[in-house]
């Protein structure tokens, strides 16, 4: 189907432009898969440089400038499958990952731990977007590194 801007008239062209720019703006409000993967890589590089405790402390800072950017943020699990760092909600630190389920009942906390590899994988679930404060579809890039799991998720409204 071809749309002729001549046929749409001025109002039609303005409507098409509004829909297009609104769609672009909404997409730009969310972090990308590449940005999520890069943030995980930065957390792992810090871990290798300064060790586990200093890395978790850096991620748990409030705010965590290197590990929080809009709706992108780092979370980490320790070898005992406890949350050891969370750049947005430090009250989750120390909780067992097995207890985390999404609104559909998916046990994503344990799934992240079970599926994380040294190469990295994506795990899908629903979670609250810290920017919109709405429950949205989320896909987290998770990497297992030296018995820890590091993750950053992207939201897909």
Domains annotated for the chain, with CATH where assigned, are 1-30 (no CATH), 32-156 (3.30.450.20)
Cβ distance 121 to 36 under 8 Å? no
CB-based burial label for 52 (10 Å; 0-12, 13-18, 19+): middle
pLDDT tens figures, 63-90: 778 999 999 999 999 999 999 999 999 9
What does the H/E/C string look like for 82-112?
A: EEEEECCCHHHCCCEHHHCCCCCCCCHHHHH
Place of tokens 């769609």: 23
Specify the 3-state DSSP secondary structure of 141: strand
pLDDT tens figures, 17-67: 333 333 333 445 789 999 999 999 999 999 999 999 999 999 999 777 899
pTM of the predicted protein model: 0.80
């Amino acid at each position: 189907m071809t749309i002729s801007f001549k046929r749409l008239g001025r109002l039609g062209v303005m409507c098409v432009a509004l829909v297009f720019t609104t769609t672009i703006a909404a997409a730009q409000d969310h972090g990308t898969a590449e940005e999520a993967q890069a943030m995980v890589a930065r957390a792992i590089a810090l871990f290798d440089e300064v060790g586990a405790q200093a890395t978790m402390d850096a991620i748990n800072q409030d705010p965590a400038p290197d590990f929080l950017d809009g709706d992108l943020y780092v979370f980490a699990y320790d070898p005992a499958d406890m949350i050891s760092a969370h750049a947005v909600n430090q009250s989750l630190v120390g909780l067992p990952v097995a207890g985390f389920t999404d609104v559909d009942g998916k046990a994503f906390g344990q799934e992240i731990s079970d599926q994380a590899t040294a190469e990295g994988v994506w795990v899908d679930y629903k979670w609250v977007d810290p920017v919109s404060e709405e429950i949205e579809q989320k896909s987290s890039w998770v990497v297992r590194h030296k018995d820890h799991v590091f993750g950053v998720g992207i939201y897909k409204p």
